[in-house]
Structures are given as C-alpha cells and as structure tokens.
Amino acid sequence: MTDNNKLPTPHKQGDLFARVASILEEARANTVRAINSQMVLAYWHIGREIVQEIQSGEERAEYGKQVIDKLSHQLKDNYGRGFSTTNLRYFRAFYTVYSDRVPEIRQIRTGESHNSINRYSQIEILNDLTLAVETLQEQRGISPVLGWSHYQALLSVDNRNERLFYEIEAEKEGWDVKHLKRQIHTFLFARLLKSTDKAELIRLTQEGQVIEKPSDAIKNPYILDFLGFPESRVFRESEIESAIIDNLQQFLLELGKGFAFVGRQKRMQFDSQFFFIDLVFYNCILKCYLLIDLKVGELTHQDVGQIDSYVRMFDDKYLTEGDNPTIGLILCAHKNENIAKYSVLKDSKQIFASKYMLYLPSEEVLARELARERRLIEEHISRDEENAMGKSRVHEKHERHEHKDSEGQDDE
C-alpha cells in the first residue's frame, strides 16, 4: 500500500526549495527595481514642482533658497530622512537636465533598431551634436534598471551626448554605480572615439559601444589605476602582468566587452625556439583571440615585429573552425608615433599599440592625451584628403592632355 502522506525525499525537497527560493528572490529583485524606478520618477516630478515654483515666484536667488529650505523642513517632518536641502537641489538638477524626458518608466524592448545615419566627411567637435540626438533623448523615459545613485553620477557629465552614452552603457551592461563613476572619470566615451566624424559620435550616443571589428575593441589610453601602483616607481613587465592577473575582473572591464581570459605566458614553439605571450584573451563577440604584449618603455620596431610574428604563429597553430584572425595588442608605457607611422601598425587591421596609465590621471593630463590623439587623426585625414586631391588633379590633367591630343587628331 502506498503512503500518500510520505514526505518527498530530501533530494526532491531540496529541488523544490531551490525552485521556490528562486521565484521569491526574483520577485524581491523585481520589487526592489520597481520601487527604485518609481522613486527616481518621483524625484523627477519633485524636481519639476520645485523648478516651476521657483520660476513662478520672485526672480532672485534668495527666493529659490527659501523655497527649498521650507520644503525640506516640511518633508522631513512628514516623511523623515532623505529630503535634505542638498537632495532637493539634486532633484531640481535632475529635472533640469532630463526635463525633455517622457515622465514614465521606459519599457526595455528587445531588438530596438535605430535609423541609419548618413556619413559625414567634415570633422566636427562634440558640442555640435546636440540637435542630432534630441529626438532620441525625448523618446527615452526613466530607465527601469538604473537607480537614483546612477542618475546622480550621470548628472556630473555636462555634455548631453556623452551623458546619454553612459546611461545606455550602464543599462545595457548592468554597471553598478562605482563602475559607472570610474568610466565617467576616465573618459571612456572620449577614449572610444577613435573616429572623429559626426556619424560615429551619433552612433555612440544612440547605441553605446558596439563591437563589430577589432578596432572597436581597442581604446587609448588604457587606465589601469586599479592596480594600485604608486607613480614614482619603475616597474618590470612581470610585475604589471602579475598585478593585472590579481585584478583580472577589473582589467576585463577596462579591456572592453566580450573578453574572456585564456592564459598568461602562453608558450609557443617554432622549430627549436620557444616564445612566450604575456596575456591571451578570447573575444566572444568578435570570435577571435587577443594577444597582449606588455612593455614598460617606449614602443620600438622590434616590439611591433614581435607581436606581428606572435599573431601569425598563433593563427597557424591554434585557430579552429569559426575563429576569426587573431588580434595583437602592444600595451606600452610610451607610444612612439613615428614607429607607428613607419611600421605594420599603420596598415594592419589586426595589430595595435595603445598607451597604458597605471594611475588615474588628472582631467588636464587625459585631456592633453586625447587632444594629441585627435590631432594625429586629423593630420592623417588631412594627408589622405590631400593625396586624394593630388591624384584627382593628376587624373584631370591627364584627361585634358588626352582630350587635346584627340582634338589635334580630329583637325588633321
């Protein structure tokens, strides 16, 4: 006879508990997200009320201060903590910055598409892009996955296009607030901006970082401040390599999307010689390996030749069906632009050199670095345009000569 009151076996009971616990944890997480989203939306509305109250009152700074002070006292008396004058000023700033948003929690839709963007040949600066993304900005409501602390961090970004990029990336990649702040402080947007044409800027502010080709995954400079090295010391490559391995999770975040760690000091044999690659990664988006060669000094021709050889050997020995060609990256403390200009780096789509910084540089230092990079890009584009115009003039001159020759033959 079967005992209907018999308890399930511990194994099955454990499975049931795990399933029920998973349901509860998911429900709690969804509830927390929903509450956070509603609070962010509430802060937007509070900010709007404050702005409208101040605008409709006396036009003097003291009046605005009185409005916020009075409201703060009233809210704290009725709702407790969380409504200091500082927070209310944040609410006002939040509404001011995002006043053109739809006042609702946005639904995340899969497969969102963006209109194609016409290419531009004229180099234009970042601030010229405001009108280009206004429509997108107006269509976005409040993110359902970003909390109030995320939006507070975003308020520190003055340029709306750059701010929109960080918002999209934080939402898509699930960044916590600490990582969002780090990416803002190290100018991720500017470092990703290798192309200075308007279309590339618009794409970043509409879609975030999209990895389609090897160059999309390479930044310059790389900010390795999480390694914790003091500025004054001189380091060996092995020390930097060990520190990167110790901080692998943070390094992968700095490296970019889709990277998985494969190994360090990867040994390759060629005839009777052995070669060692400092770091090897695999990019699941590009479906290719990334070989990193670390250099503490200035970039040399030997460094470029070495990484080029490593990539060729690696492709020959380790690539399997479905893998794309391997990427080679030299991370060097100092870049030599002449070496880059007169080496395989100039034309290769798979070999790159990027500077790294072992500490968080000041805004001024990084701004100079990025300005120098932009100047080099502009000079390169200018040379290409001049070469193209020169070829065009030669072609036109050649056509005129041919035309004259044909006219002379007709006269005869």
Angle between helices 10-56 and 85-97 (to 10 degrees): 90
Question: What is the mean pLDDT of the segment spanning 124-142?
Answer: 50
- If you search the block for the tokens 């969380």, which residue do you land on? 82
Tell me the C-alpha distance between 190 and 196, whole Å.
10
pLDDT in the model for residue 135: 46
| 47 pLDDT more than 70 | yes
How many residues belong to the chain?
412
Nearest C-alpha neighbor of 74 from the set 50, 107, 55, 93: 50
Instruction: Give dist(CA 32, CA 378) in Å, integer.
Output: 48
Q: Mind listing the pLDDT tens digit for each residue in 242-285? A: 999 999 988 998 988 889 999 999 888 877 788 899 999 999 99
Distance CA 248, CA 252 (A): 6
**What pLDDT was estimated at residue 359?**
79
Strand, helix or coil for residue 108: coil
Q: Which of the given ranges, 16-20, 34-38, 84-88, 402-406, has the highest pLDDT on average?
A: 84-88
- Residue closest to 208 by CA, chosen among 253, 257, 147: 257
**Predicted TM-score (pTM) above 0.75:** no
Look at residue 123 and tell me whether its pLDDT is greater than 50: no
Stronger pLDDT, 9 or 51, i.e. the higher one: 51
Model confidence at 54, pLDDT cuts 50, 70, 90, reads confident
Tokens of 104: 């609702």
CB 246 within 8 A of CB 261: no
Phi–psi pair at 329, nearest 5 degrees: -130, 125
pLDDT at residue 36, rounded to an integer: 86
Please, which pLDDT band fits residue 100 given cuts at 50, 70 and 90? confident
Beta bridge partners of 105: 142
User: 10 preceded by cis ω (within 30°)?
Assistant: no
Question: Who contacts 317 (Cβ-Cβ below 8 Å, separation ≥6)?
Answer: 268
